[in-house]
Amino acid sequence: MTNDLTENLFSLIKSLSASEKRQFSLYVGRVGVNSDSKFLNLYKVMSRQKKYDESEILKSTRITKLQLSNVKSHLYKQLLISLRLNPAHQSIPVQIREQVDFAYILYHKGLYQQSLKLLDRVKSLAINYEEKNLTYEILELEKIIESQYITRSMSNRADILIKETEEISKLNTIWGKLSNLSLELYSIFLKKGYCKSQEEADEIKSYFKEKLPEYNYQELGFRERLWLYKVHLWYSFLIQDFLGCYRYSMKWKDLFIEYKHLIPIHPVSYLKGSHYLLESLFYLNHTGLFEATLKQLEDSLRDPKIPHNDNISALSFLYVYSNKLNLRFMKGEFSNSEELIDKINEKIIKFRGRLDEHHIMVFYYKIACLYFGDGNNKKCIEFLKKIINNKSLEMRQDLMCFARILNLVAHYEAGMDYHLDSLVKSTYKFLIKMDDMHGVQKEMIKFIRNLPDVSPLEIKTEFKKLHATLKKFEDHPYERRAFLYLDIISWLESNIENRPVKEIIMEKSQEYSR
């Protein structure tokens, strides 16, 4: 617990902006007695440190080792209070919560009428900004007060409050079930990736049908519709229905056009809608629309409605740069990527504390694919090793599997085939363990395993045979998932035609865009 507290406190102090530090100095300086307090002295020492050093703290302050834990806890609380008072963090939900707190204070002082008037005003604000959980809390407090402060309109007032509470409670129940289902589907996707068979797809369909709550669409507000679209989006991704992904990500985006005043309240969801629309367009291979949507996303990040904080900065990097990589794949533009890759690596270091390991590994895989497409197989292998050697990565089994498949191909292309047999064996064992041994993977493993025994004169014939075999899987509803990660068909064609793979992909991209 002490270690967690230390880490949390240190990271919070290091995250403070210049304005937040000034705010804290003003906050603690409001009472003269704080000027030499132990928690302030602790703050001064820790804010100077690049790495937490307890011995320096004990040496530079009058805090004893026994007192240190309590002083840390007090400092952490004071920092949070100061941040809450900072205008930059005074969002609508925070303002509503503050007003509800004031209403509770007035109620406990017996000032029922004042409390009711305050609650009535803030309830309108909560309803307007779709803060239905807070609306429900406001209604519950109103009922408590009305039951003690008898008015002439009590009978009518009671009926109104009961009806409002029932309506909000019903919507909160639907929202809760939708948000739970969305999280469950997202968790399945992170763990397993896309459905690998009709059996898996049938299981997801049954699960989805069973868990989806009943609802009347006309009664749903912004919040419920948003989660409904999220649920359908993740369901569509899992069963590889990319038209469905496009449809629901467009509904998601249009929802924010209808409720423009909620963009500053839910900036993360607003940006995510554009990101998932881009993912859908990537899988549907609509290059022109993808490029226009990416530009819209970049332009929206300059909109003053979007708050500029650490969280938004990290997500902006994630969404913009992952799609910049996707655009290069769609166009077959693999060369001259060093500047983009350097920028991504720099941002990964900057935002590592705010990006989960899964998203960092996806970046590494895409960079590896970029190097592979450019013919730089050694750099490709370098980034794949970051994924393969990551023992803590337990999500996206498909990502780990295809990293190993690409690793085999890159070793062959780089002429590093002196230990290809052991790589084939370890990859085969891994795929069996992950239960991810399907048609495309089997054919790739068999092909690469036999390569060392193939005569140079027969190598092109073997490439043609594999190409003919894999073409059958290209439009297969579940086997085609292999081609979402690595354009194996184009790689084979490049070997058959003795041309760089980037030329093949670029030509295909130009054909699609006609």
Q: Record the pTM.
A: 0.80
Burial category of 349 from C-beta neighbours within 10 Å (exposed 0-12, middle 13-18, buried 19 and up): exposed
103 and 40 both lie in a single domain: no
- Choose the final residue of a domain: 108, 128, 151: 151
Considering the domain architecture, whether residues 70 and 101 belong to the same structural domain is answered as: no
First to last CA, the chain: 61
* Residue 417 token pair: 């085939």
Residue 174 · residue 220 · CB < 8 Å? yes
Identify whether 29 is part of a domain: yes
Integer Cα distance of 45 and 247 in angstroms: 54
Q: Alpha-carbon distance 272 to 234, whole Å?
A: 13
The answer as to whether 376 is a domain residue is: no
DSSP assignment string, 374-407: TT-HHHHHHHHHHHHT-TT--S-HHHHHHHHHHH
Asked if residue 107 is part of any domain, the answer here is yes
Calpha distance 239→357 (Å, rounded): 24
* Structure confidence at residue 9 (pLDDT): 92
In sequence order, the 6+-apart residues with CB closer than 8 A to the CB of 10 are 46, 49, 52
Of 253, 247, 256, 317, the closest CA to residue 280 belongs to 247
Domain match, 55 and 134 both: no
Q: Are residues 102 and 135 in the same domain?
A: yes
Whether 69 is covered by a domain: the verdict is yes
* Model pLDDT, residue 437: 57
Number of domains in the chain: 2
Of 386, 367, 431, 373, the C-alpha closest to 405 is 431
- Shared domain for 82 and 108, answered yes or no, is no
Give me the pLDDT at residue 1, please.
Answer: 38
For residue 68, give the amino acid letter. Answer: L
Q: Which domain holds residue 108?
A: 92-151
71 plus 101 within the same structural domain = no
Token pair for 333? 């533009």
286 in Cβ contact with 245 (< 8 Å): no
Q: Which of 119, 151, 183 is the last residue of a domain?
A: 151
Contacts of 105 by beta carbon, 8 Å cutoff, 6+ apart: none
Contact 161, 123 (CB under 8 A): no
- Judgement on whether residues 111 and 85 belong to the same structural domain of the protein: no
Q: Which of 112, 120, 105, 101 is nearest to 146 (CA)?
A: 112
14 and 79 fall within a common domain: yes
Looking at residue 480, what is its pLDDT? 66
Q: Is residue 102 situated within a structural domain?
A: yes
Residue 373 identity: G
Residues 119 and 43 grouped into a single domain: no
**Closest alpha carbon to 182 in 246, 190, 355:** 190
Tokens at residue 416, please? 């590093």
Angle at alpha carbon of residue 481, lines to 475 and 487, rounded to 5°: 85
Confirm whether 143 is domain-assigned. Answer: yes
Co-location of 11 and 34 in the same domain: yes
Distance between CA 477 and CA 196 in Å, rounded?
Answer: 9
**Is residue 61, in this structure, part of any structural domain at all?**
yes
Regions of the chain short of the pLDDT cut 50: 1
26 and 57 both lie in a single domain: yes
**Is the same domain home to 76 and 139?**
no
Rounded Cα–Cα distance for residues 194 and 192 (Å): 7
For residue 57, tell me if it sits in a domain. yes
